[in-house]
Amino acid sequence: MKFFVDTAEIDAIAELNDLGMVDGVTTNPSLIKKSGRDIIEVTKEICALVDGPVSAEVTAIDAKTMIAEGRKLLEIADNITVKVPLTWDGLQACKALTDDGHKVNVTLCFSANQALLAAKAGATFISPFIGRLDDINLDGMELIEDIRTIYDNYGFDTEILAASIRSANHVLDCARLGADVITAPPAVIKALVNHPLTDKGLAAFLADIKAADIKIL
């Protein structure tokens, strides 16, 4: 499973990238606003830092302007993936951009039917929002499972990019169900290393080392 980092913070991306934990990056205007920087400038810097796809989101809601904005974003770097919302206009923009050979991430997916439409429109990635479904007492993982089944039934190439990832359990469940990609904040990705038994074992190991006065250097 590929790991995308959901942030516009350059230092956080660089830290994970140096460890080989970054297969791509997802951004949106809200994340870039938090960074306090110009959208084009920060997106260009991210694209230069990572080799994988960098999702940059349009701000328009009509298809014509989405397409124009998408083409403008594509000028930033070769690894740009244009991010569009899962609306009828968004699907029109997706079809136009993918027909031109560009990658498109269709975001804000909350149903399997929406995911089916996005695949038919040629989406490179579909982004189902797990955490937001959980927030309204629906099971986000059921959506991942349904999309996986549908895409496998018909051989769609669209990759499932699980979004709104909030916990280590979300990551584990997505991996079990066969999501192609997860995108998560740096803190969630780094938290995957944590386990209380690891901490307990390390504490015991360090105590033994100290008691035996063992030194390597």
Asked whether the beta carbons of 160 and 149 are under 8 A apart, the reply is no
In terms of Cα–Cα distance, which of 33, 38, 73, 34 is closest to 53? Answer: 73
- How far is it, in rounded angstroms, from Cα 139 to Cα 84? 24
- How far is it, in rounded angstroms, from Cα 50 to Cα 68? 25
User: Hey, which residues are catalytic here?
Assistant: 83
**What tokens does 143 get?**
């959506």
Going by C-beta distance under 8 Å and a sequence separation of 6 or more, which residues neighbour residue 119?
126, 150, 151, 154, 156, 157, 158
